[in-house]
Amino acid sequence: MTKKKRYVQIGLGGRSAMYFYAVLSEYAETSEMVGISDINRGRMQLAVDRAHAQGVEVKAYPAHQFDAMIADNKPDVVIVTTKDCFHDQYIVRAMELGCDVITEKPMTTDDEKCQRIINTQRETGQNCRVTFNYRYSPPRTQMKAILMSGVIGDILSVDFHWLLDLHHGADYFRRWHRNKDNSGGLMVHKATHHFDLINWWLSSVPESVFAQGQRRFYTPKTADRYGLTNRTERCLTCPEDQCRFRLDIKSNSGLKELYLDNEVYDGYFRDRCVFSELIDIEDNMNLVVNYQNGVKMSYSLNAFMPWEGYVVSINGTKGRIEH
Residues 23-37: tens digit of each pLDDT: 999 999 999 999 999
Residues 47-97: tens digit of each pLDDT: 999 999 999 999 999 999 999 999 999 999 999 999 999 999 999 999 999
Please report the domains of the chain, with CATH numbers, ordered by start residue. 5-131 (3.40.50.720), 137-322 (3.30.360.10)
Query: Torsion over CA of 63, 68, 74 and 76, rounded to 10 degrees?
Result: 30
- Beta bridge partner(s), residue 309: 163
d(CA 2, CA 143): 37
d(CA 130, CA 40): 24
CB 233, CB 239: distance < 8 Å: no
State the average pLDDT over residues 202-225: 98
From the list 48, 92, 99, the residue with the least C-alpha distance to 70 is 99
Helix (H) or strand (E) holding 113: helix 111-124
Q: What is the pLDDT of residue 1?
A: 62
In the predicted model, is pLDDT for residue 313 greater than 70? yes
Q: What is the pLDDT of residue 214?
A: 98
Percent of the chain with pLDDT over 90: 98
Q: What is the pLDDT of residue 2?
A: 78
DSSP string, 119-136: HHHHHH---EEE--GGGG
State the average pLDDT over residues 187-215: 97
> Which residues have CB under 8 Å from 121's CB, separation 6+?
95, 127, 128
Strand segments, DSSP code E, in 255-319 are 284-291, 296-305, 309-316
Q: What is the pLDDT of residue 34?
A: 98
Q: What is the pLDDT of residue 134?
A: 86
Strand segments, DSSP code E, in 100-194 are 100-103, 128-130, 155-165
